[in-house]
Structure 1
Amino acid sequence: MINIKDKKFIEAFGKNLRKLRKEAGLSQENLANDADIPLSQIGRIERGEVNTTISTVHVLAEALKIEITDLFKF
């Protein structure tokens, strides 16, 4: 795994993504399909295993139909 500078922040982001996904009534598979990213990537993000890219954050927000800033409200 790549060295992550702030593991707690990455984990908090993942927990928030999971919460927002569930609030939207989406499975990980639905979100992956809507965002056109691999299903495994959703799981890694939600578990705080990867420091995701800005472009992935953008497509996740679009797929969830939320403002991108909502993903960082935790």
Structure 2
Amino acid sequence: MEGKKNLRMRAARVAKDLSQADLARAVGVTRQTIGLIEAGGYNPTLKLCTDICKALDVTLNDLFWED
């Protein structure tokens, strides 16, 4: 995923009416980390991926699986 924008994560976050800062607080990271994940500049750990999915009420496949 690194180097490729995660537009699905951004879309899911916006659909839940969450800012990057809101999501970051919910999963225990900084806003910058969420921004980097969405921009494709950071490859999150599996734990962080699952925490993000729980916060956004989506599955890992919804956000991170490449078609």
TM above 0.5: yes
Q: Give TM-score, length-normalised by structure 1.
A: 0.75
1:37 shift after superposition: 1.3
Q: Give TM-score, length-normalised by structure 2.
A: 0.81
Any idea what the Cα deviations from partners look like across 1:24-63, whole Å, max 9, x if unmatched?
1110011001111111100000110011111110110011
1:68 shift after superposition: 2.4
Percent of paired sites with the same residue: 29
Give the length in aligned residue pairs. 66
Which one of 25, 46, 49 corresponds to residue 38 of structure 2? 46
- Listed as ranges, the matches of 1:2-21 within 5 Å are 7=3, 11-12=4-5, 14-21=6-13
| 2: CA distance, partners of 1:36 / 1:62 | 13
Any unmatched runs of 5+ in structure 1? none
Helix, strand or coil for the counterpart of 2:58? coil
Could you say which residue in structure 1 is the equivalent of 2:52?
A: 60
| 2: CA distance, partners of 1:37 / 1:21 | 15
